[in-house]
Structure 1
Amino acid sequence: MSDQVRVRFAPSPTGPLHIGGVRTALFNYLFAKQHQGTFILRIEDTDQNRYVPGAEDYIIEALNWCGIPYDEGPGKEAECGPYRQSERKSMYRKYAEQLIASGSAYYAFDTAEELAEARAKAEADKQNFIYNHHNRKEFKNSLSLTEEDVQQRLDSGEPYVVRFKPELKKLYMYDEIREGIEIDTSLMDDKVLFKSDGMPTYHLANVVDDHDMRITHVIRGEEWLPSMALHVLLYESFGWQAPKFAHLPLILKPTGKGKLSKRDGDKMGFSVFPLEWKDPKTGEISRGFREDGFLPEAMVNILAFLGWNPGTEQEIFGLDELVKAFGLDKVNSSGAKYDPEKAEWFQQQWFVQQDDAVIGAAFAKAMQKKGMEYGSQDYVNMVVGMVKERAVFVEDLFELAGFFFVSPSSYDEKNVQKAWKQDTPEIMGKVAEIIAQTEDESAAGLSNAVKGWIKEQEMGFGKVMMPLRLALVGSLMGPDVFEIAAMIGKNESVQRIQNAIHELS
């Protein structure tokens, strides 16, 4: 095996990529980069019946959006290609025949009907049906038939599969996350490695490809743990050195019970896919993290903490920091609960760190879509700088900062009862006059003028400041009221005060 670390992410193009798959890709990427290794994308499309058009492009786009592009794979060909299993299918048969020649596999000619009958008989006898060393001689295969009979069947083109014949022993294996595992191979069934349609099953293709691509570490989801024994035995049967294995914990529902599914996201109002997905058959659209407004940095940070812990108090990690801090020794073996609130917390932390100009550009684009006028980009950026601390997504800025661009068309009822009294119209009329006459239009200038007048009148500040905010904003939220007045300008401020007097009196 090569000294250089080589890992692979090997999804099937059967639909959108679940965040569990993205996390697997991320952990492979981090491990590869930490060891100056190679991160490979391999598309496992041997099951053509489940192939979904557009799924491969979706996988590649999702990895690129997260900032974890692959080094080798479709479109980035290198000496270990091709990287789609369907383009490698001519090579698998010779490996299946190699196993037959060495006695580690055999031809089986049983029809689907015969197997169904045997399964039904076992169920009737209240037994589990398993095709292995206990009963393989009772079936039509190259272990029970004569050599002549087998050759005749092969020559006549009779359909067959190739089944694996595991060596009977106590198999000791090591997983980088779960440590030592022992299996009694006599309990294993004789898995089909090669199908009658001339295509390998996942197990044969997976092992052959990992060997040919010189994979040093197989980092994959816990659902593949039951396959580990078969894969290790296949490596032994070929006389190849097996890679190191690491099986990542499941991502669990927010309740902690059961694996996270699309249904959970639909029910609780969050996405389980990195990008929006449109089902080519049904036209159904599934939401994505990107379209929900998450930043790729936040997505990566969220996924990193699903099953991994740095062992310190630090929670906000950029990709470069993750590469330095990551290690399989810090990955837990127990399931990781997905917490939508914590996900939004990560998003908020990253959102605040973004440059005002970056968020400003995104907000301007969102306003354009809604047909809102926003003046100059510099103005938008300044507004964003004033309110972004309280936002989680760009969409939140409409509520937090919409009043910087559009005069209030309504006023919050509870706030009106609290702030707008009988004498308020008269007071607000005077405040409008003061603002109109103030030459210094800065926040400090407007503040000094209005607050000076309040002190002269020996009036409570709340009596003026609350209705002034209500007039400018439509509610009692937002940054400093004089910052708002200075930003929207003297004339607009006066106009809004007059509108409020007219609407609320």
Structure 2
Amino acid sequence: MALFDKAWAVKTGGRFVLRIEDTDRNRLVAGSEQQIVETLDWLGLRPDESPVAGGPFAPYRQSERLDRYRPVVDRLIADGHAYYCWCSTERLAAMREEKAARRQDTRYDRLCHGMTRDERAELPGFTEDPTVRMLVPDDAPTTFHDLIRGEVRAPFPDDQVIMKADGFPTYHLAVVVDDHEMGITTVVRGEEWISSTPKHVLLHRWLGWDMPQFAHMPLLRNPDHSKISKRKNPAARLMWFKEQGYLPEALRNFLQLLAYPPSAGDQEVGTFEQFVAGFDWGRVNTVGPVFDTRKLDWLNGHYIRELTDEALGDRLVEFIGETGQWGADPDPAWEGVVRAAAGMIKPRLVRLSDAWGQIAFLTAPDDSILVEDAARGQLKDDAAAILDATAEVIGSVEPFEAAPIQAALRARLVDQLGIKPRLAFAPLRVATSGRKVSPPLFETCRILGRESTLARVAALRRSL
């Protein structure tokens, strides 16, 4: 939704606003606001107005705007559009349970409507601190226009609580007041809020305020078509993508494809600027898209290969440094090794998190390379002789670059000694990496350097 908000704001010359709606104090999670800010910043979707950026309608946290809401509530009560409710939570729960047992509508029964405090106090289920409820008329509107869905019919609204007993407004009142005061023209939110929109329409009408446009986005689904959630899918926590090594530009591209599938002939890979240029609410797919990371992996690999070797090196150094993949006591030269190896491993990367596992051996001490069983199985009876010949070539080849190293080893091992290439180069691969499969062998030697390559060859030779 932030992506589509930002696209619409850019296309129309508007402002993208981040407002922290924190009036439900029971559900407030420490650090969640910071995570929202960091996620949007990482994705390149920085708001034009926010608690961090400021703006003409600050403050942008609802908990800091409480003085705006009480006068509106008092006005609604004075106009007969709202009333006090002294019902305890126990009484409300019992009422709903009884109605449900009779298969009746479980909406509030308006016991408190028209009563004074003293009158209500004479009845059971009274609580000292009242809430304030909307008085929904029998002819309340249940339809509204949606930018994505057209004419929408929602359920008939309940007498919604708009001010809680603790003096904090509920979401429904606070967003209407803030949307009006901040000049919000387009409200983009998930489809689960469709049922609440008639309440917001009523509040706008009662207060005589201009109505914003509404756009209700489809909810993302797990592969089993259930609603995406942190319990079932770690991807519901957006910073998971950064931790897994996805590029923000790939994730933006993926998210726009989920709810905005390309038309026939359109390319799936596109920039945010291209997305903005062709943006149309009417093209948003209303069927809950399935969140499958296989497509994201493909896109991420594409974007990685589009980077220059230098740019990829920068991203890998930042990612590996932030995630601590290099361990507690890394070789100080690891950054240089990562930058040098970036181009070599680029074709093999799907995520940035794949990189360190492929190149960590380059920073290991030369005499501590662990040889995998599968790699050792490649060493034949003539491995010692091949390593001796390899060391001789490595010691003299000039310049010590991938192409000359390959040419010199091929001339000696394949052409002169008649060893098949697969068998000729296997001992060197095992010596340098300890693996059966590794990044390009001769680039590996170049990055290690002559001295380190010879030391690893000698270490494997001694172990035979």
The residue that corresponds to 1:319 in the other structure is 272
* From 71, 95, 100, the counterpart of 1:94: 71
CA contact under 8 A between 1:374 and 1:380: conserved in structure 2? no
Taking the aligned partners of 1:53 and 1:62, their CA distance within structure 2 comes to 16
- 2:1 aligned with 1:41, yes or no? no
CA contact under 8 A between 1:420 and 1:467: conserved in structure 2? yes
Q: CA deviation at 1:315?
A: 2.6
Matches within 5 A, 1:144-155: 145=115
The residue that corresponds to 2:392 in the other structure is 433
Matches within 5 A, 1:32-431: 32-131=9-108, 136=110, 139-142=111-114, 145=115, 159-169=129-139, 171-183=142-154, 187-256=156-225, 258-265=226-233, 270-275=234-239, 288-311=240-263, 312-361=265-314, 362-363=316-317, 365=321, 369-373=327-331, 375=333, 380-406=338-364, 407=366, 409-417=369-377, 419-431=378-390
* From 357, 380, 403, the counterpart of 1:444: 403
CA contact under 8 A between 1:109 and 1:140: conserved in structure 2? yes
The normalised TM-score by structure 2 is 0.86
CA contact under 8 A between 1:254 and 1:340: conserved in structure 2? no
Taking the aligned partners of 2:220 and 2:435, their CA distance within structure 1 comes to 41
Taking the aligned partners of 1:146 and 1:459, their CA distance within structure 2 comes to 100
Taking the aligned partners of 1:315 and 1:28, their CA distance within structure 2 comes to 20
Q: What do the CA deviations read for 1:408-451 (whole angstroms, capped 9, x no partner)?
A: 6232323433x322223223322322332434433333333322
Q: CA deviation at 1:369?
A: 4.6
Kindly tell me the number of residue pairs found equivalent between the two proteins.
448
Q: CA deviation at 1:217?
A: 0.8
Taking the aligned partners of 1:114 and 1:79, their CA distance within structure 2 comes to 44
Letter of the 1:207 counterpart? V
Change (3 A) 1:235 1:493: same
Taking the aligned partners of 2:441 and 2:67, their CA distance within structure 1 comes to 72
The residue that corresponds to 1:16 in the other structure is none
Tell me the secondary structure at the aligned position of residue 258 of structure 2.
coil
CA contact under 8 A between 2:361 and 2:369: conserved in structure 1? no
Letter of the 1:469 counterpart? R
Q: What do the CA deviations read for 1:2-22 (whole angstroms, capped 9, x no partner)?
A: xxxxxxxxxxxxxxxxxxxxx
The residue that corresponds to 2:123 in the other structure is none
CA contact under 8 A between 2:244 and 2:353: conserved in structure 1? no
CA contact under 8 A between 1:104 and 1:165: conserved in structure 2? yes
Taking the aligned partners of 1:146 and 1:444, their CA distance within structure 2 comes to 91
- 2:438 aligned with 1:469, yes or no? no
Q: What do the CA deviations read for 1:304-347 (whole angstroms, capped 9, x no partner)?
A: 23322232542333333333243322211111211133333333
Which stretch shifts more, 205-214 or 295-304? Answer: 295-304
The residue that corresponds to 1:281 in the other structure is none
Tell me the secondary structure at the aligned position of residue 263 of structure 1.
coil
Taking the aligned partners of 1:368 and 1:117, their CA distance within structure 2 comes to 58
Taking the aligned partners of 1:66 and 1:434, their CA distance within structure 2 comes to 49
Taking the aligned partners of 2:312 and 2:332, their CA distance within structure 1 comes to 14
Change (3 A) 1:112 1:409: closer
CA contact under 8 A between 1:165 and 1:190: conserved in structure 2? yes
Tell me the secondary structure at the aligned position of residue 193 of structure 1.
strand
Change (3 A) 1:43 1:492: closer
CA contact under 8 A between 2:374 and 2:436: conserved in structure 1? no
Change (3 A) 1:212 1:429: same
Identify unmatched segments of 5+ residues in structure 1. 1-23, 151-156, 276-287
Q: CA deviation at 1:149?
A: 7.0
Letter of the 1:463 counterpart? L
CA contact under 8 A between 1:174 and 1:180: conserved in structure 2? yes
Taking the aligned partners of 1:448 and 1:33, their CA distance within structure 2 comes to 55
CA contact under 8 A between 1:428 and 1:464: conserved in structure 2? no
Q: CA deviation at 1:394?
A: 3.7
The normalised TM-score by structure 1 is 0.79
Tell me the secondary structure at the aligned position of residue 252 of structure 2.
helix
Taking the aligned partners of 1:48 and 1:94, their CA distance within structure 2 comes to 21
Q: CA deviation at 1:245?
A: 0.6
Taking the aligned partners of 2:230 and 2:44, their CA distance within structure 1 comes to 24
Letter of the 1:181 counterpart? V
Change (3 A) 1:421 1:146: closer
Tell me the secondary structure at the aligned position of residue 252 of structure 1.
coil
Taking the aligned partners of 1:382 and 1:52, their CA distance within structure 2 comes to 42
Letter of the 1:166 counterpart? V
Tell me the secondary structure at the aligned position of residue 387 of structure 1.
helix
The residue that corresponds to 2:124 in the other structure is none
Percent identity over the alignment is 34
Change (3 A) 1:455 1:179: same
